[in-house]
């Protein structure tokens, strides 16, 4: 557990979204991409739209929708 989402993402191989909390939609995804070891998001709540994930440069795997593989 971390108090800061950027600390949680540091050196992470994958970001897994399991909540619809609005604060996760407001993260600096460019910053997160820079601190992860791999640019992969598994979105269990369909919190993001595919275009936004693609623009941020992530491989994006949502639930029940086509993935974006970069």
pLDDT tens per residue across span 25-46: 888 888 998 999 999 999 999 8
Identify the domain containing residue 16 by its residue range.
Answer: 5-62
**Structural domains in the chain (count):** 1
Q: Is residue 24 part of a domain?
A: yes
Q: Is residue 36 part of a domain?
A: yes
Q: Is residue 58 part of a domain?
A: yes
Query: E strand or H helix at 5, and its extent?
Result: helix 5-9
Q: Is residue 49 part of a domain?
A: yes
Confidence at residue 57, expressed as pLDDT on a 0 to 100 scale: 87
- What lies within 8 Å, CB to CB, of 7 at 6+ separation is none
Q: Between residues 7 and 51, which one has the greater pLDDT?
A: 7
Confidence at residue 26, expressed as pLDDT on a 0 to 100 scale: 84
Q: Is residue 20 part of a domain?
A: yes
pTM of the model: 0.82
The model's confidence at residue 9, banded by pLDDT at 50, 70 and 90, is: very high
Q: Measured at the alpha carbon of residue 35, what is the angle toward residues 4 and 31, in degrees to the nearest 5?
A: 75
Q: Is residue 70 part of a domain?
A: no
Q: Is residue 68 part of a domain?
A: no
Q: Is residue 67 part of a domain?
A: no
Confidence at residue 70, expressed as pLDDT on a 0 to 100 scale: 60
Query: E strand or H helix at 51, and its extent?
Result: helix 50-56
């Amino acid at each position: 557990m971390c108090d800061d989402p950027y600390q949680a993402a540091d050196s992470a191989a994958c970001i897994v979204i399991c909540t619809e909390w609005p604060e996760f939609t407001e993260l600096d995804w460019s910053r997160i991409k820079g601190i992860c070891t791999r640019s992969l998001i598994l979105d269990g709540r369909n919190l993001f739209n595919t275009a936004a994930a693609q623009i941020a440069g992530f491989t994006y795997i949502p639930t029940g929708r086509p993935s974006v593989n970069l």
